[in-house]
């Protein structure tokens, strides 16, 4: 139990160093954005009840929320973002502040949930990728660099809604 916690702490420490600038950076004015990106789909009726997204269609103008909690488990960041025409969201966490506290690192403290779908026939929440509890973030080393700008880009989801009415399966 204790060693598991130590392992988690150590691995998060490594990630922390990978993804955060050091405090003694030579360019203190450099702006660093935290971004979460992902897709929102309408699950195909045929796969209802599973986590399968095969044949799923992206949902434009769907809303998702990014929720981050501090070490006291209080919500420290909450914002709703809308998907673009391709069902893709790029959630730039303006004003997200990171303390030196490891548990407040986005990988540990932030989650993404589906909020609402504009499609009348596909607006039920699903737990695909733990959307109902909050889908965790992943980091695969994706960053954007500008001259005085840097963005650390996390991925989450994909999230999905499902139709409220699916025709019964037809067996021919
Ligand atoms: C998404 O959020 C925006 C802004 O809060 C709102 O205007 C829009 O109606 C929402 N879309 C849906 C599908 O709920």
Convert the pLDDT of each residue in 87-122 to its tens digit: 999 999 988 876 666 677 888 899 999 999 999 999
Query: Is residue 26 domain-resident?
Result: no
Query: Is residue 9 domain-resident?
Result: no
Transcribe 71-122 into DSSP letters: TTS-EEEEEEEE--TTSEEEEE-TT----S-GGGSHHHHEEEEEEE-S-TTS
User: Which H/E stretch holds residue 11?
Assistant: helix 2-19
CATH of the domain at 44: 2.60.130
Query: Is residue 169 domain-resident?
Result: no
Of 61, 82, 120, the residue with max ligand 1 atoms within 8 A of its CB, to mutate for a pocket test, comes to 82
Query: Is residue 88 domain-resident?
Result: yes
Of 66, 83, 113, 116, the residue with max ligand 1 atoms within 8 A of its CB, to mutate for a pocket test, comes to 116
Distance 2 CA to ligand 1 centre (A): 44
Number of folded domains in the chain?
Answer: 1
Tell me the range of 52-61, 99-108, 137-146 where mean pLDDT is highest.
52-61
Q: What atom in ligand 1 is closest to the CA of residue 117?
A: 13
Query: Is residue 5 domain-resident?
Result: no
Predicted TM-score (pTM) above 0.95: no
Query: Is residue 55 domain-resident?
Result: yes
* Ligand 1 neighbours (beta carbon < 6 A): 61, 63, 80, 82, 116-118
Query: Is residue 52 domain-resident?
Result: yes
Does the pLDDT of residue 83 top 80, yes or no? yes
Distance 63 CA to ligand 1 centre (A): 6
Nearest protein CA to atom 8 of ligand 1, as residue:
63
Domain limits for position 107: 31-162
What size, in residues, is the chain? 172
């Amino acid at each position: 139990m204790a060693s598991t916690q130590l392992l988690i702490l150590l691995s998060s420490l490594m990630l922390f160093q990978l993804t955060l600038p050091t405090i003694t950076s030579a360019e203190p004015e450099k702006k660093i954005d935290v971004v979460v990106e992902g897709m929102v789909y309408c699950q195909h009726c045929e796969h209802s009840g599973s986590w399968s997204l095969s044949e799923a269609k992206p949902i434009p103008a769907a809303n998702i929320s990014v929720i981050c909690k501090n070490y006291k488990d209080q919500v420290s960041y909450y914002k709703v973002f809308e998907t673009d025409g391709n069902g893709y969201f790029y959630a730039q966490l303006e004003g997200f502040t990171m303390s030196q506290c490891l548990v407040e690192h986005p990988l540990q403290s932030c989650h993404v949930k589906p909020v609402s779908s504009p499609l009348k026939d596909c607006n039920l929440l699903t737990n695909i990728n733990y959307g109902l509890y909050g889908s965790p973030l992943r980091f695969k080393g994706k960053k954007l660099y500008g001259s005085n700008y840097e963005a650390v880009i996390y991925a989450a989801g994909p999230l999905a809604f499902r139709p409220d009415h699916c025709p019964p399966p037809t067996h021919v």
